[in-house]
Amino acid sequence: MKKLMRSLAGETLPVPPIWMMRQAGRYLPEYRATRAEAGDFLSLCYNSDLATEVTLQPIRRYGFDAAILFADILLVPQALGADLWFVTGEGPRLSTITDAEGMAKLKGPDDIHEHLAPIYQTVRNLASALPSETALIGFAGAPWTVATYMIAGRGTPDQAPAHALKDGNRPVFEALLDRITAATIEYLDMQVQAGAEVVKIFDSWAGSLKGDDFQRYALEPAKQIIAELKRRHPTLPIIAFPREAGQGYVGFHAATGADCVAVDDSVSAEWVAEHLQPHGCVQGNLKSSHMVTGGADLVSEVRRIRDALSKGPHIFNLGHGITPDADPENVALMIETLREHA
């Protein structure tokens, strides 16, 4: 069995498997060359051959234990009917959904597949192209995080437009979350049918939900998605990432049915070992900045996290995605340090 799958099944390994969020990305010169060939980011996402190529690039260079599909969490809103474009240097822009009229214009969850067919083809390509020891991870954004972009039309520092709609027009807000939840199930189901062996649900803005809102709009949608995917695919391992959840991480395995909970770097590996790891596999949580600065601090932090989480199932990863200013040599140093004495 592949190393990643063994950890997800609850096995404690002498050296944990490793992959990296955004491992196919702008820090790699070969990625930048392929993106230039594609013309722009969305064209790269929807070109199955080029998306396959950029997914494979970090596997060839580093020998990660898993590849994650190259795509974007905002392809689902686009498939539902939202306009989506990217502004160079600023990020995504979307047409906004803030009222019942906007909701009425969205497609149903069963109507997204034609638009997303190139993504499913990329998964099929990868399933046949990856080395036999490398696991293939599919993914989607969690409903709350995707909704924050659909409501604001862009990324925001505090998700204020989404909170305002939640508090001011709860029926529309909840209808939007329900639509995204249903579409996400269909999207991930098709990724699994195409060959994804694991799926991950990214809730990048979960930390801005507090109290009951966290339970209702981060935890509950994750629970719904996981339950339905496991009904359709009983052996499918699922990773959930409610970033910056803090105390909300505690009990997240059991409450949602996730096989693995990924953690950001705002909590320590020692805290994770005490509060989360006894309940299932954990993933994380090296600070992304170490991929920029490198050196002795990188080596010592990799060893600290590895050792702190060595008594239970662990997948080594960053606490968030690698940044464009990272040094590819530091990625190699991270992997070498993790696997020393193996």
Contact indicator for 287, 330 with CB cutoff of 8 Å:
no
**Residue 56 and residue 52: Cα distance in Å, rounded?**
6
Q: Which member of 32, 35, 304, 339 is catalytic?
A: 35
- Whole-angstrom CA distances from 185 to 68, 113, 145, 228, 233 are 18, 12, 15, 7, 12
Sheet holding 238-242, edge to edge: 66-68, 135-141, 198-203, 238-242, 260-262, 281-286, 314-318
Task: Decide if 72 is catalytic.
Answer: yes
Q: Which residue, 316, 274, 280, is CA-closest to 298?
A: 316
Task: Decide if 60 is catalytic.
Answer: no
Task: Decide if 22 is catalytic.
Answer: yes
**Residue 189 and residue 8: Cα distance in Å, rounded?**
19
Q: Which member of 31, 46, 72, 203 is catalytic?
A: 72
Q: Which member of 46, 62, 149, 187 is catalytic?
A: 149
Task: Decide if 149 is catalytic.
Answer: yes
Task: Decide if 111 is catalytic.
Answer: no
**Residue 86 and residue 9: Cα distance in Å, rounded?**
38
Q: Which member of 22, 179, 243, 306 is catalytic?
A: 22
Active-site positions? 22, 26, 35, 72, 149
